[in-house]
A and B are shown apart, each in its own frame.
Chain A
Amino acid sequence: MDLFDMKMPDQLIVWGNPLINGAWISIILVTLGIVFVLTKYKKWRWLWDEWLTTVDHKKIGIMYIVSALLMLFRGGVDALLMRIQLALPNLEFLDAQHYNEIFTTHGTVMIIFMAMPFLIGLMNVAVPLQIGARDVAFPTLNAISFWLFFAGALLFNLSFVIGGSPDAGWTNYVPLAGEELTPGIGINYYLWGLQISGIGTLATGINFLVTILKMRAPGMTLMRMPMFTWSTLITSVIIVFAFPVLTVALALLTFDRLLGAHFFTIDGGGMPMMWANLFWIWGHPEVYIVILPAFGIFSEVISTFARKRLFGYSAMVVSIVAISALSFLVWVHHFFTMGNGPWINSVFSITTMAIAIPTGVKVFNWLFTMYKGRIEFTTPMLWSLAFIPNFIIGGVTGVMLASAPADYQYHNSYFLISHFHYVLIGGTVFGCLAGLYYWWPKMFGFKINERISKWAFWVFVIGFNMTFIPMYLVGLKGMPRRIYTYREGLGWTGLNFIETVGTFVMGAGFVLLVWAIIYSIRHAKRDYESDPWNGRTLEWAIASPPPHYNFARVPRITGQDPLWRAKKKGETIFEEKTPLKPIHMPNHTGIPAVMAGFWFVAGFGFVFEWIPVGLAGILGVLLCMMWRSLTDYHDHHEVPVTELRDAAAEEIKNAGGRSARGVVNDG
């Protein structure tokens, strides 16, 4: 390989397919629109000062959530395109290659660039507030995590218009994904997009682990932490131990493709199956990384709107700890059919079934939390209620799949597809939406319109079941996944058509959701209420939106659900009599965004195997690290007491004279 050989792919700019031409045109128009608006309203400075350089965990959380909603749209469009192609037999809406690219990007985008950032965004917004901290342990690293995710997502999403998408499935199995069978650059996009954002996720795991262990307010013992904080702690542990495996696996496959190594090729003594093995050693814990925080959100929401403390708190904690250990012991169930010996499959069948036990414990705890509660059917509660039956459908079929002999029948069929959509949509997506509605007033000071949101909820949930119940049935009728078309007379046509209609209903639900958000941004009353849901945990004890330092006085915690206890007793959890002290806060910094920009350049260079470009990007990254390590002793400032006083006065004014806290709203 010549170091300076900047070879061009066959088609650098993808053009010709009407769908992709349309995408090009809309990308250009949207970009021009954004540039125009920012310039016309002189918002560039604002964008840089308030967002691009921020290290405030709440703003970083909002940027994660906005990006995740965009990715939900992109992945959703991929899903619609696939369902149009499969609506009837022998359609020619997409060709085989285009279909392969779309199911690959759908899976990758939804898991890596939608589900995880959505949950990490909610963690960013809520966790420091729930434990009484003023920021995360490493604020600059937090910004680096976000910008690395952003750079990786941008790189991955460029693939379909510049150079061509990856097309070997989201699991990217070799030998198909190897240099020999899939030359070209699509797979490189997969490798570098995931690598860059994966490093960011690993940093997030470390950051939240340290934050939760080291930054809790006085009195906030581990067993007094809210359940969302507990699930974030355990998720962080799983991230820290699972993501290095992905980093290594991606690096090895990159060596194979870029430098001609033989880790995963048969010639040269490599093992193709080792990719599947490493991928799922990361991939199965990954499933728990995206479900445990959702469990935490449901625990918060159900307890808040049933007006009862969480049933079986310690059983819940033991369950998530057990799930974290078991999550590393089940990965082979993703490839039971790859020819493992019977002992191996038996052991992994049993460990897989064992996971149903702690999960079942949690389901019963949610049900008992609601038992005899005074349930209020708000939108976040509706999503949480819908989660329980839908997730159980996914979970029970999961136990069916866990039995290795039966799995030989189900594997690679639409039955499997339906199973993981029931757990990922019914669990993770419902959880993300419940969390979005629940913490939205904390982020922005007003609620999302309930009437439109309830419509969105019902339309989405009906569309979801309409799509995926037929998918179980068509799977049992033998329809395999990853086929781009099928012939008539197999008995699949009617079910497929219903699925496609259901997908459009789900799409309509998403449009209603977006409409509810836009409508509320334009019309909802800004009441800036600190505790709009009559909440139980610390985040509802401070202003909405919270000041950048979160807590003017650090709260003192005497038990679980501290705010609820204080409201019951008519007390306040802040010692209002102690004098305010200046607060030590981190400075804004441009290093994270600039560094991620260099990562993007490096990734882009290596995707096209333009080594000089890639190395230039890496050099930039190293320079940013040096700059940071030489300046990190001057990266903080003090918030003066006068600012704290002004903010407190402002809060009381916003609350319309009434005391912002310390009162139990009855009902």
Chain B
Amino acid sequence: MSQQKQASAKHHVAGYAFSLVLTFVALFVALYTSLPASVKLIGIVVLAILQMVVQLIYFMHVTEGSKIYQLLSLGYGIFVAIVVVAGSIWIMLYNTMTQ
């Protein structure tokens, strides 16, 4: 029991450290580098995807449990994420009727 407890604590601390590092790297890229804006943007998006992977593996137990539930929930999550991100970009870019 206590060994299991320790292992899960280690796992959580590692996940926490990874997510903090990714956050600070994103901040550093945005605030303290002189890269062109488009490169910064791509960098932040890549870091965000890595952050998502860290969250899924270390905190959301994506590697455990029933495969079918994991696939369904990941699939639905990706569907909603694409709808929200792509939909928002589409709507905000082509908001031209009143300009």
**Residues of A in contact with B (beta carbons under 8 Å apart):** 213, 237, 241, 245, 271, 273-274, 277-278, 281, 325, 328-329, 331-332, 338-341, 343-344
**Set of chain A residues within 8 Å of B91, measured between Cβ atoms:** 277, 332, 340, 344
Give every chain B residue within 8 A of A271 (Cβ-Cβ): 92
Provide the bound-state CA to CA distance between A405 and B63, in Å: 48
Q: For B69, what are the chain A residues with a Cβ–Cβ distance below 8 Å?
A: 213
Q: Number of B residues contacting the other chain (C-beta, 8 Å)?
A: 18
Answer whether A344 and B90 are a contact pair too, CB < 8 Å, given A339-B97, A339-B98, A339-B99.
yes
| Any A CB within 8 A of the CB of B88 | yes
Question: Is A273's CB under 8 angstroms from B92's CB?
Answer: yes
Given that A213-B69, A340-B94 are known contacts, is A274 also in contact with B88, CB under 8 Å in the complex? yes
A245 B84 Cβ-Cβ under 8 A: yes
A271 to B88, CA, bound (A): 12
CB within 8 Å of A: which B24-50 residues: none
Which chain A residues border B6 with CB–CB below 8 Å? none
Q: With A and B bound together, what is the CA distance between A43 and B96 in angstroms?
A: 63
**A232 CB, nearest partner CB in chain B, Å:** 17
- Residues of chain B within 8 A (CB-CB) of A277 are 88, 91-92
Query: How many Å lie between the Cα of A343 and that of B84 in the bound state?
Result: 17
Docked-complex contact A274 and B92, CB < 8 angstroms: yes
| Chain B nearest CB, measured from A548 CB (Å) | 28
Which residues of B have CB within 8 Å of A281?
Answer: 84, 87-88
- Given A281-B88, A329-B83, A344-B90, A241-B77 contact (CB < 8 Å): yes
Interface string of B68-79 (1 = CB under 8 A from A): 010000001101
A338 partner, pick from B84, B90, B95, beta carbons under 8 A? B95
Of chain A, the residue at the smallest CB distance from B99 is A339
CB neighbours of B21 from chain A (8 A): none
**Closest residue on chain A to residue B69 by CB atoms:** A213
B26: shortest Cβ distance to chain A, in Å? Answer: 16
Residues of A within 8 A of B80 (CB): 241, 328
21 inter-chain pairs at a CB distance below 8 angstroms, sorted by A residue, are A213-B69, A241-B77, A241-B80, A271-B92, A277-B91, A278-B88, A281-B84, A281-B87, A325-B79, A328-B80, A329-B83, A331-B87, A338-B98, A339-B97, A339-B98, A340-B94, A340-B95, A340-B97, A341-B94, A341-B95, A341-B96
Chain A nearest Cβ from B95, distance in angstroms: 5
Q: Per DSSP, are chain A's interface residues mostly helix, strand or loop, or mixed?
A: helix
A277 to B88, CA, bound (A): 7
B6 to chain A, nearest CB (A): 13
Min C-beta distance of A420 to chain B, whole Å: 22
User: B residues within 8 A CB of A237?
Assistant: 76
Rounded to whole angstroms, the CA-CA distance of A329 and B69 in the bound complex is 23
CA–CA, A557 and B29, complex, Å: 57
Contact A339 B95 (CB under 8 A): yes
Chain A residues closer than 8 Å to B76, beta-carbon distance: 237, 241
Separation of A656 and B43 alpha carbons in the complex (Å): 73
Closest to A245 in B: B84
**Nearest residue, chain A, Cβ from B90:** A344
In whole angstroms, what is the CA distance A331 to B90 when docked? 13
A269 CA / B98 CA spacing, docked (Å): 18
Contacts of A344 in B (CB 8 A): 90-91, 94
A328 to B88, CA, bound (A): 12
A241, B91: Cα distance in complex, Å? 20
State the CA gap A247–B77 with chains docked (Å): 17
Collect the chain A residues with CB atoms within 8 Å of residue B83's CB. 328-329
Tell me if B95 and A273 are in contact (CB < 8 A).
yes
CA of A543 to CA of B94, assembled, Å: 60
CA A271 to CA B92, docked complex, whole Å: 9
In the complex, A245→B88 CA distance in Å? 12
Report the bound CA distance from A368 to B40 in whole Å: 59
CA distance A462 to B95 in the complex (A): 43
Nearest B residue to A332 via CB reads B91
Bound: A237/B79 CA distance, A = 13
Q: Which residues of B have CB within 8 Å of A329?
A: 83
Q: Give Cα A278 to B88, complex, Å.
A: 8
Taking the nearest CB of chain A, how far is it from the CB of B78, in angstroms?
11
Complex-state Cα separation, A344 to B95, whole angstroms: 9
Complex Cα distance, B73 from A241, in Å, reads 10
In the bound complex, CA of A343 to CA of B94 (Å): 9
B19 CB to nearest A CB, Å? 16
How long is the Cα–Cα vector from A273 to B98 in the complex, in angstroms? 13
